[in-house]
Copies of this chain bind each other. A is one copy, B any other.
């Protein structure tokens, strides 16, 4: 909290060279855009950098603006307020997350691998992007009425429900679930999400420390997943 606010932003003194091509459509990544350019995207990239560098507490509107090299009020025009920026960034996180899930499932060959690929990818994503995961699941400052966030989160949930349906060899309907289906989805999600949160919060250190020498979180997670579904896999 001792960051001097008077840190000068590196900007063109007063005028950019008139030759600087800053077309709205083209992405000028070589030099910082002065007035126009893809500020929105630049801000989101800056925000992700700040988030993974300084954590959730460091993700402020002003810090993002600083990181992007613009005035502190610039983000307002693109995102309205902090909730807006945070929500758009969370949407990106969900999309990254969904992509990771898909590619992990595609890479799985055996039925056992298929059953474990998704949860393992879930935890792996959270470990690789703890800031993003915290943004997606810890922050209270998310506006799910924003279409981008709503859709991305919805897609994430649909993927989960689908995976459970595959495992149970059932068709998951769009608008109706049996109690057992709902319970299976809730159980899988709760287990994976709960484990991830506890792991990221360091609350499993206590368990891990008492386990046989050198037991990794992944091994613990795998063991914990295997027990209930043992014998329930097809073939």
Residues of A within 8 A of B (CB): 55-57, 134, 137-138, 140-141, 157, 173, 175-180, 182-187, 189-195, 197-198, 201, 203-204, 206-208, 210-212, 215, 219-221, 223-224, 227-228
| Interface of A, helix, strand, loop or mixed by DSSP | helix
Of B56, B137, B220, the contact of A182 (CB 8 Å cutoff): B220
Of B182, B193, B212, B228, the contact of A210 (CB 8 Å cutoff): B182
Chain B proximity of A212: nearest CB distance (Å) = 6
> Which of A177, A210, A219 is packed against the most chain B CB atoms within 10 Å?
A210
Q: Is the CB of B207 within 8 A of A185?
A: yes
Cβ of A194: which chain B residues have Cβ within 8 Å of it? 189-195, 197
Q: A137-B197, A186-B220, A195-B194 are known contacts. Are A206 and B157 too (CB-CB below 8 A)? A: yes
Nearest B residue to A141 via CB reads: B57
Cβ of A175: which chain B residues have Cβ within 8 Å of it? 210
Q: Is the CB of B179 within 8 A of A220?
A: yes
> Which of A55, A56, A179, A180 is packed against the most chain B CB atoms within 10 Å?
A179
> Which of A137, A190, A197 is packed against the most chain B CB atoms within 10 Å?
A190
Q: Is the CB of A186 within 8 A of B140?
A: no
Q: Is the CB of A224 within 8 A of B186?
A: yes
Q: Is the CB of A219 within 8 A of B179?
A: yes
Chain B proximity of A220: nearest CB distance (Å) = 6
5 tightest A-B contacts by CB?
Answer: A194-B194, A190-B194, A190-B195, A183-B223, A228-B228
Chain B proximity of A46: nearest CB distance (Å) = 21
Of B176, B190, B193, B221, the contact of A224 (CB 8 Å cutoff): B190
Of B178, B182, B195, the contact of A186 (CB 8 Å cutoff): B195
Chain B proximity of A202: nearest CB distance (Å) = 8
Cβ of A228: which chain B residues have Cβ within 8 Å of it? 187, 227-228
Of B189, B195, B210, the contact of A177 (CB 8 Å cutoff): B210
Complex CA gap A56/B183 in Å reads 30
Q: Is the CB of A211 within 8 A of B182?
A: yes
Q: A191-B190, A194-B191, A224-B186 are known contacts. Are A211 and B177 too (CB-CB below 8 A)? A: yes
Complex CA gap A169/B90 in Å reads 44
Q: Is the CB of A186 within 8 A of B207?
A: yes
